[in-house]
Amino acid sequence: MEITAFLDRKLARRFRTYDSDGDGFIEREDFTQAGERTTKAFGLAGDDPKAVRFHTTLIGLWDQLSSVTDQDHDGRISLDEYKKAFANGLLETPESFDEGYVPFLDAVMAIADEDGDGRLTLEEHVTWTGALMNLSEGDARGIHDLLSDEDGLLSTQALLDAIREFYFSEDPAAAGNWLLGSLD
């Protein structure tokens, strides 16, 4: 996969959302902390089946990501390692992306979509993106407004489409490219 200047900026932005403690590396603890913040934000106990599923899925995502990206096997991922993994085909196609990402999105939705209708309210979206990825409320509100339907709800499918756009679209005007707010 070619890492264009635009994709490079998006990957750097995504890396920052993973790096919970801001130390310049992604580590298992970043995923653990993000999971705990998210389940706590929705009032779930650690043994709640939704919380257990979410934590298990999140750690599975870490395991997959680290096995592909941690080139020097030091238990952490640098920004350079993260970008190299993409250049080496971490996300070959939208279909291969779906195989790894859809189960994660399903686990997120099981927590965030409190009424289980497959659509997120503005508050649910702001809560999960803030807790999981430290997204500002303003950025979360902006992307929710951009992606939501006429009822002001954000469907799982619209969210998945936007996430795909984030990784695969080179169009700066595409809604998914604003998924994490400003790229700067």
pTM recorded for the entire structure: 0.89
In a domain, 111, yes or no: yes
Q: Which two tokens stand for residue 58?
A: 């999140």
In a domain, 107, yes or no: yes
As a whole number, mean pLDDT of residues 130-150 equals 94
CATH of the domain at 31: 1.10.238.10
Helix, strand, coil distribution of the chain in percent, nearest 5: 65, 5, 30
Q: What pLDDT does residue 145 have?
A: 94
In a domain, 43, yes or no: yes
Range of the domain at 124: 5-178
* Residue predicted with more confidence, 39 or 181: 39
pLDDT above 80: residue 93: no
Alpha carbon distance 24, 82 (integer Å): 11
Given the DSSP bridges, would you call strands 119-120 and 154-155 parallel, antiparallel or unpaired? Answer: antiparallel
Alpha carbon distance 168, 163 (integer Å): 9
Q: What pLDDT does residue 135 have?
A: 93
* Tens digit of each residue's pLDDT (9 = 90 or more) over 97-110: 777 788 889 999 99
Alpha carbon distance 68, 140 (integer Å): 29
Provide the percentage of residues in the chain whose pLDDT is more than 70: 95
Q: For the chain, how many structural domains are there in total?
A: 1
In a domain, 184, yes or no: no
* Tens digit of each residue's pLDDT (9 = 90 or more) over 54-90: 999 999 989 988 888 888 999 999 999 998 887 776 6
In a domain, 183, yes or no: no
As a whole number, mean pLDDT of residues 140-153 equals 94
As a whole number, mean pLDDT of residues 133-147 equals 94
In a domain, 48, yes or no: yes
Alpha carbon distance 157, 41 (integer Å): 23
Write the CA distances from 111 to 6, 32, 34, 52, 104, integer angstroms: 32, 16, 13, 11, 11
In a domain, 125, yes or no: yes
- 27 DSSP β-pair partners: 76
The overall longest dimension of the chain from CA atoms, in Å, is: 48
